Amino acid sequence: MSNMITVTNIENNTAWKKQLNESERQEINEYLRASKRTVAIFPATLTPIRTNNLNNFSKDFFLPTTVNHAIKVQNTVKRFFVLLASLFLDIATFPIRFITFIPRIISNAVSKENPLKKYLIQEKADTKILESDHVHVRLDWVSNGFPNYIWTDKNGNRHETDNQETHWRESMINFIEQPIYKQPAPISGWTRGSQGGINLG
């Protein structure tokens, strides 16, 4: 059975891989479930979500809706009106963020470190992997599927040929809470011989 984890920082295209035994793979699966949640637009206007560095804090404290959402709208005409609305919302809610930012800094400071990030540090992964607040993770593993066929030799001995299944799962993992409207859903799949399938979520 072959297991591998691949962690990629898509911002600087740095990747780290490691072969895993079965117990490590199961442990990693638990880590992947511990991804920090995303925060919807309106709650993110009431308190700065990210306080781990000055760049993130300034985006989430001064103009969170404008910087994190409005400027990313593709359509030029639509972006103009969205920018006007987001600026109004950000200015109107600034006094609330001014009140809530200190409690938020304290809350983030005492929160538990993401277990996947902690694991990568312990495994001495490339430090460039940890420069981002989120990473792309792919987990690959091989398991025995249903018997492909069964036969009996001339001595009466019964034989089975097992058909191996190759599985994979990809997901974006947040090390900290993110002011993102929608997080890409995890994708998983499998192949067995000429057959295969893909699952979303």
Number of domains in the chain: 2
Is 150 within 8 Å of 158 (Cβ atoms)?
A: yes
Statement to judge: residues 18 and 64 lie in one domain: no
Q: Which of 66, 94, 110 is the last residue of a domain?
A: 110
Please give the structure tokens belonging to residue 95.
């006094």
d(CA 149, CA 159): 8
Statement to judge: residues 150 and 52 lie in one domain: no
Residue 69: CB atoms within 10 A of its CB come to 17
Q: What average pLDDT values come out for the chain (201 residues) when binned by 10 residues?
A: 88 94 90 84 95 96 96 94 97 98 96 93 93 93 65 72 77 90 73 62 60
For residue 135, being part of any structural domain is answered with yes
d(CA 82, CA 73): 8
For residue 123, being part of any structural domain is answered with yes
* H-run or E-run covering 194: none
For residue 104, being part of any structural domain is answered with yes
Statement to judge: residues 188 and 119 lie in one domain: yes
Q: Which of 64, 89, 110 is the last residue of a domain?
A: 110
For residue 41, being part of any structural domain is answered with no
Give residue 182's domain range: 3-36+114-200
Statement to judge: residues 132 and 173 lie in one domain: yes
Please give the structure tokens belonging to residue 37.
């949640």
Statement to judge: residues 31 and 95 lie in one domain: no
Statement to judge: residues 138 and 192 lie in one domain: yes
Phi and psi at residue 55, to the nearest 5°: -60, -50
The pLDDT of residue 187:
82
The pLDDT of residue 197:
63
d(CA 87, CA 4): 45
The pLDDT of residue 114:
92
Statement to judge: residues 26 and 69 lie in one domain: no
Statement to judge: residues 20 and 118 lie in one domain: yes
The pLDDT of residue 165:
78
Q: Which of 62, 86, 110 is the last residue of a domain?
A: 110
